[in-house]
Structure 1
Amino acid sequence: MADFLWLQPHTPHCTTMATWLYEQFHYEYAEQSLADWQAEFSAGQSNGAWPSLVALEDGQLLGGAALAKEDLPGREALGPWLACVFVTPLARGKGVAEALIEGVCARAREQGVGRLYLHTQDRAEYYAKRGWRAVEHFERWGKPQVLMARDL
């Protein structure tokens, strides 16, 4: 059974999570070095930009998800965002991502947030089954995207 906790800056899990995100969503970080993203992600754990819930099992990082202030350039009027959702391949299909997403939604609700947004390239059906609705289809980073929202 996984344990879920809010990530702290300057921990090995913070660096690892930032690296995984950089590799998984490389097209979003094309103009930023890995070291710069790691520093931004780490700072975001304490300045409110990227607070992230992570899943650990026996001390091993399984994945995470963030409650981001901003996540889509040019759409700053929207937010906050469910962002940075990533689960290691070995932990997929075990409910880890869903638990992370629900944990982020719960924290947003506790903070008085009424609606969260996300954007996805290829997981719109997954999110739709979990209460998210498509708001808009668009292209970014040379790829089709779906902007989605969920009322909390």
Structure 2
Amino acid sequence: MGRARVADHHEIVRLGADSPHLARVAAWQHAEWAHLSPGETLASRRAALRGECGPAGIPSVFLALALGRPVGTASLVAHDLDPRPALSPWLASVYVLPEWRGQGIASGLVRRVEAEAAGNRIGRLYLFTPDQQALYRRLGWQDHETLVHHGETVTLMIRRLPLQGS
């Protein structure tokens, strides 16, 4: 229970606050996006991530495992883009180790977050990305606006989710 198969030898699991993988995921996030969170340290990223590891709904963090080894992550969080505080919730922190890219892991992580949102009666998600617009468009996301965030041009995207029983 709580596991989704992505591809051969890949699965997606919920990351718990007490997971031995939490420090590694925080390090990935800090290395990849520290420039978008000025003043954030690795220790503060680890503490924030621990707080995002909810049991269901918002917040939630998911971990892709390949043969038991962490290879990717994605989160469902209430807020992710300071200049747009009214927009919520967000698909955030989608990351796959470079050597594991191109195998559908990111798509699987995105779909898992979307399923978590839809299962909690959330009909709309947001994300922002500087360079992965094509991936998200293939997965049904639409461009919402372009803006500059901490000196980087990003695309804010939206996804309307079908709700079961609607």
TM range (shorter): over 0.9
Distance 2:54 2:104 in 1: 27
Matched, 1:25 2:33: yes
Q: Which residue in the other structure is 2:114 paired with?
A: 105
Kindly state the Cα deviation for residue 131 of structure 1 after the two structures are TM-superposed.
0.5
Are residues 1:128 and 2:128 paired?
no
Give the aligned CA root-mean-square deviation in angstroms: 1.4
- What is the CA distance between 1:29 and its match in structure 2? 2.6
Identify which of 31, 36, 48 aligns with 1:40. Answer: 48
Runs in 1 of length 4+ with deviation above 2 angstroms?
46-50
1:30 and 1:50 mapped to 2: Cα distance? 22
- Deviation, 1:130, is 1.2
2: CA distance, partners of 1:85 / 1:144: 18
CA–CA distance in 2 between the matches of 1:17 and 1:29? 16
CA shift at 1:49, angstroms? Answer: 5.8
- Paired residue type of 1:63: G
Structure 1 stretch displaced more, 44-53 or 55-64: 44-53
* Residue 6 (structure 1) aligned to one of 14, 22, 30: 14
How many residues are treated as equivalent by the alignment? Answer: 152
Contact 1:7 1:52 in 2 (8 A): yes
Which letter does structure 1 place at the counterpart of 2:111? Answer: E
TM-score (norm 1): 0.95
Give structure 2 stretches of 5+ with no counterpart.
1-8, 162-166
For the 8 Å contact 1:21–1:84, the answer to whether it is kept is yes
1:36-115 equivalences under 5 Å are 36-46=44-54, 50-115=59-124
Which structure dedicates a bigger proportion of its chain to helix? 1
Aligned amino acid, residue 39 of structure 1: A
Query: Once the two structures are superposed, what CA deviation does each residue of 1:22-48 show, in whole Å capped at 9, x if it has no partner?
Result: 101121232111101101111221387
Unaligned runs of 5+ in 1: none
Whether the 8 Å CA contact 1:55–1:96 is kept in 2: the answer is yes
Deviation at 1:50, TM superposition (A): 4.1
